[in-house]
């Protein structure tokens, strides 16, 4: 679901990414979330929703979530998702960022 709000740059502020993700979760689920609330442990959200989260992160933040980063633990909370975005946006040590 596209948003008209500007997406924060996760290189500078994971807190802003958390806030955007909390807004996204609230819009998609109709309930309020905290940064450390387990999105899947609280019930009602499926693995299909996990894929929707992956697509949202990739499109909103220009990242590619692949391989080991597709672990469910990276998507359990808004905080973990924001950390994942920050990690994937940073250039690899000794290499260039694609």
List helix spans (H) across 1-98.
Answer: 14-29, 47-61, 78-89
Cα 57 to Cα 24: distance, rounded to the nearest angstrom: 10
**What is the average pLDDT score of the chain?**
83
CB 56 within 8 A of CB 22: no
CB 86 within 8 A of CB 17: yes
| The pTM of the whole model exceeds 0.75 | yes
| Torsion sign, CA atoms 5, 11, 12, 16 | positive
pLDDT digits (tens, 9 = 90+) for 12-55: 578 999 999 999 999 999 999 999 999 988 776 788 888 999 99
């Amino acid at each position: 679901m596209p948003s008209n709000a500007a997406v924060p740059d996760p290189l500078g502020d994971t807190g802003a990414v958390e806030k955007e993700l909390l807004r996204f979760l609230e819009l998609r689920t109709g309930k309020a979330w905290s940064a450390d609330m387990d999105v899947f442990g609280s019930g009602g959200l499926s693995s299909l929703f996990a894929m929707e989260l992956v697509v949202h992160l990739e499109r909103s933040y220009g990242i590619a979530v692949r391989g080991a980063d597709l672990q469910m633990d990276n998507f359990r909370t808004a905080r973990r998702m924001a950390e994942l975005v920050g990690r994937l946006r940073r250039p690899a040590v000794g290499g260039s960022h694609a």
